[in-house]
Chain A
Amino acid sequence: MMQWLQGPDGLTGLGLSILDDDLDRSAFLWGLWTTVWLSLVCIVLSFAIGIAGAWAQGASSRLGRGVVSAYIQVFRNTPPLVQLYFFFFAVGSLLPSVTDSYGQSVPMVTNVGWAVVSFSLYAGAFNIEIFRAGIEAVPSTTVEAAEALGYSRLGTYRHVVFPLALRISLPALGNNLVNLVKTTTLAYAIAVPELLYVSAQIWSEQLNVRTMMNLLLVVYIALVGLLVLGINRWERALRVPGLGR
């Protein structure tokens, strides 16, 4: 059956070498896993940066607010590829090397490590702004009610302001996280073996550029589709009767 499907150009005759070439398949799957892993880690970290940054923006300390707004300006107003290069080449070269378990000298932070740092900071800057918009939509009278009950600023943020702001922010947050998943392809530039990188390796060997391009599009549509589905579910789970509708 499989042999019948295999034409001269491999399985199905489409040049889909990842179906009949074990090496290509495992490289592709590894790339898929790397992209998924990179996306998930950066989503979680950028989410945490958003929560902490939005909290610091409302702090009474002028220094804290200044640091957060400088961070947002830098990461929102420069290209993510430039940021990635900055971390990998400029910051990376300043860090000392360390010796690994084989006794080899390796950089302290790997290319994957820099991709995580760079993309998390990039998406985190946007998340802060997204949460800030949600926080500003929470009525000051609701905050006052929490204060009158004795809640501290942190307690108010944690139990009242953020849960309400999150519900308001979710659509915009979804957009930014979708963008983050797509931005992970930039890691190609520093040789992180994510989907685009392994695909390029495959097509330069198999010369199946068109097929791999189409496959990449389909895989990204599926990945982003899953993310959007998850966010929509979350939105529905957080929906409160009589609030905002």
Chain B
Amino acid sequence: MNHDLPLVSIRHLEKRYGALTVLHDISFDVRRGEVACIIGPSGSGKSTLLRCINALAPFQAGSIKVAGIEVRDPALDKRGLRRRVGMVFQQYNLFPHKTVLQNVMMAPIHVLGQNRHDVEERARRLIAKVRLQGKEDTFPGELSGGQQQRVAIARSLCMAPEVMLFDEVTAALDPETKKEVLVTIRELAEDGMTCILVTHEMGFAREVANQVYFTDKGVIVEHGPPKEIFNNPQQSRTREFLDQVL
């Protein structure tokens, strides 16, 4: 794999629901090991953008390449794409009928056909990594939101993805549990995991992001390193938004 090439490359992405354009001419690159944060008001298409990257949402024009795989290819190998792209959701979306350990182990066994013994070893290590040792045999319904979200992160990591998508993963959490999850994500980023985050946590974005993208009404209004975006925004729309949330 050529490390100079971007891991995720988006060009002129267009996404419409009927007559409504939700994403317009979106282009950006995320390099291996980079952390990109997408910020912007609700309804600006941030989550839809993430869902396009792992082919959960189809798009009408443009191109998304992930590790050389063209997402819009009609013959797309979805499994091949999704094993490379992990995703964590706002509502955790754990499988409620499976224990923590089973949640983390399921996909590598069922989807990738990996050896149960190896997967279990990896799963236990990841559960420890997100600081949930001792919770292996608990069911999601017995955990707090922050704990569930960390299980969701471990579940994604167990597929050994090359890039992780985080879709407002702390939006449903209270301030205290929020911090546990953010610490986990920061550690991931420090380990060199490529991350694309949609977030309302401006402080967190400022701290971990290499690039910040401000989106509004389906377009990227402005982007740059967090220092520039947060301290010296060029566009009036960006300033307006930051004044509201900071």
**Which chain A residues have a beta carbon within 8 Å of chain B's beta carbons?**
139, 141-142, 144-152, 155, 159-160, 163-164, 167, 238, 240-243
Question: Do residues B97 and A144 form an inter-chain contact, with CB atoms below 8 A?
Answer: no
Using CB atoms, name the residue of chain A closest to B81.
A150
> Is B76 close to A, CB under 8 A?
no
Question: Do residues B97 and A243 form an inter-chain contact, with CB atoms below 8 A?
Answer: yes
Chain B 83-102 residues near chain A, CB threshold 8 A: 83, 85-87, 89, 91, 93-97
Question: Do residues B82 and A242 form an inter-chain contact, with CB atoms below 8 A?
Answer: no
Question: Do residues B110 and A145 form an inter-chain contact, with CB atoms below 8 A?
Answer: no
> Is B106 close to A, CB under 8 A?
yes
> Is B111 close to A, CB under 8 A?
yes
Cβ-neighbour of B139 out of A142, A163, A164, A241 (below 8 A)? A241
Residues of B with C-beta under 8 A to A240: 96-97, 139, 141
Chain B 150-166 residues near chain A, CB threshold 8 A: 152, 155-156, 159
Q: How far is the CB of B157 from chain A (nearest CB, A)?
A: 11
**B interface, how many residues as a size bin?**
20 to 34
3 closest Cβ contacts across the A-B interface?
A242-B141, A145-B93, A150-B82
Question: Do residues B111 and A151 form an inter-chain contact, with CB atoms below 8 A?
Answer: yes
Cβ-neighbour of A159 out of B87, B110, B141, B155 (below 8 A)? B110
Residues of A with C-beta under 8 A to B143: 242
- 9 residue pairs bridging A and B, Cβ less than 8 Å apart: A145-B89, A145-B152, A149-B82, A149-B156, A150-B111, A164-B96, A241-B142, A242-B142, A243-B97
> Is B238 close to A, CB under 8 A?
no
Residues of A with C-beta under 8 A to B54: 148
Question: Do residues A241 and B141 form an inter-chain contact, with CB atoms below 8 A?
Answer: yes
> Is B140 close to A, CB under 8 A?
yes
A167 to B155, CA, bound (A): 23
Cβ-neighbour of A149 out of B96, B139, B140, B155 (below 8 A)? B155
A160 to B139, CA, bound (A): 15
Using A142-B95, A160-B95 as known contacts, say yes or no to A243 and B139 having CB atoms under 8 A apart.
Answer: yes
* Chain B CB within 10 Å, residue with most, of A144, A148, A155, A242: A148
